[in-house]
Amino acid sequence: MADTIHSMREFSRQVRIVLVRPRNPLNLLAAARAAANFGFDDVVVVSPYEPVWEEARAAAGAGKWLRKARRVASLPEAIEDRNWVLGTTSLARRKVAPQRMLSLDRLVARAAKSPSRNRIAILFGSEKRGLSNDDLELCHHIISIPTSQSTPSMNLGQAVAVCCYELRRWGDVRPAAENRSLSAASLGEINRLVDELGKILPSAGPSAGMPRSKENKRQVRVRQLLLRLPLTSEDVVLLLGLIRDLRWRRERTS
């Protein structure tokens, strides 16, 4: 029993609940409480409306449920060290590539096949608009909760509770020992790789024959390709070295 409790505590430290631009202080508090109910206390709040943040922290119970919550200015700051980023959406008005979709009831099965992705973030958008397209572009997978088509959206606190329950099930069944040397590359490492690739590809602008909007879309597609690959941190270091060497050689001969 002690080993099981220790293993679950270790697993809970690998999971981060990220609330992006919440608009309701009671929902923010309910989401933090739901995460704590399942043993997850790494809660990060991205760019909350200041009155919402202050009211939530002043509410009854906030000292218990929000005592460890951190506020950050941007989503990349909240997830750059994560190597499995899961976005949530009702998909009511979204078009998402099928390979990026992951039904919540298949989360445990997919996680069992990806033991190297051991630093997880699950993102929840605002109650009014959800996650933006730019937010979703930073995610490895998009999670859909199988709700009724007539009422697809959920209260923020409820959505956090349902997703945390599924994550807890994975924590209960995952192998006790993991090979940490095979840890997948983090989102921050992937972003640095995308930036370096951008330096050796044709730049945007009329003289390069590529509008900036198309270049931005290309970067998004490159990032999504790299997120799908089973790259480790060591792989990224190697690729960064190769790209920088290519850039140096090209600059010498130009």
Show the domains of the chain with their CATH numbers. Answer: 2-180 (3.40.1280.10), 185-253 (no CATH)
Question: What pLDDT does residue 96 have?
Answer: 72
Instruction: Compute how many other C-beta atoms are within 10 angstroms of the C-beta atom of residue 108.
Output: 17
Question: What pLDDT does residue 102 have?
Answer: 84
Each residue of 144-168: pLDDT tens digit? 888 777 877 788 999 999 999 988 8
The three-state (H, E, C) secondary structure of 144-194, written as one string: ECCCCCCCCCCCHHHHHHHHHHHHHHHHHHCCCCCCHHHCECCHHHHHHHH
Cα distances (Å, whole numbers) of residue 248 to 198, 234, 244: 14, 21, 6
In this predicted structure, the answer to whether residue 61 has a pLDDT above a threshold of 60 is yes
Question: What pLDDT does residue 181 have?
Answer: 54
Question: What pLDDT does residue 110 have?
Answer: 79
CA angle 177, 159, 102 (to 5 degrees): 60
**Two structure tokens written together for 225:** 């390709």
Q: Which residues contact 235 (CB under 8 A, 6 or more apart)?
A: 185
Pairwise CA distance, residues 54 & 48, whole Å:
10
Q: Predicted confidence band at 100 (pLDDT cuts at 50, 70, 90)?
A: confident
